[in-house]
Amino acid sequence: MAAEEAVTTGLLEHPPTVRVELCTGCTQCLLTCPVGTIERRGLKCEIVPEGCIRCGRCLTVCPNEAVCKVNEPAPP
């Protein structure tokens, strides 16, 4: 498996969440999630935490910093 395809499970302490006010619905997070636990909800995307393996991929691909770690303060 190529390095860019490697998935590290349990990297995050908790499943991340999407700040709906920052999400543009671009679906980059949905497309990159290796277990398909991100769903389209209307014009936004939402993480279904029960299926999340906490790999952190969605955090790195979001162009709008809309995906955040749980308890992380909103960007200024």
Q: Which residues bind ligand SF4 (CB under 6 A)?
A: 15-16, 18, 23-29, 32-33, 35, 37-38, 45, 47, 52-58, 61-62, 64, 66-67
Q: What is the largest CA-CA distance in the chain?
A: 38
CB of 3 to ligand SF4, least distance (A): 17
Residue 54 vs 72, nearer CB to ligand SF4: 54
Residue 21 vs 73, nearer CB to ligand SF4: 21
The token pair at 18 is: 């999407």
The token pair at 53 is: 């393996």
Do 56 and 11 touch, CB atoms closer than 8 A? Answer: yes
Give bridge partners of residue 46 from the DSSP assignment. 39
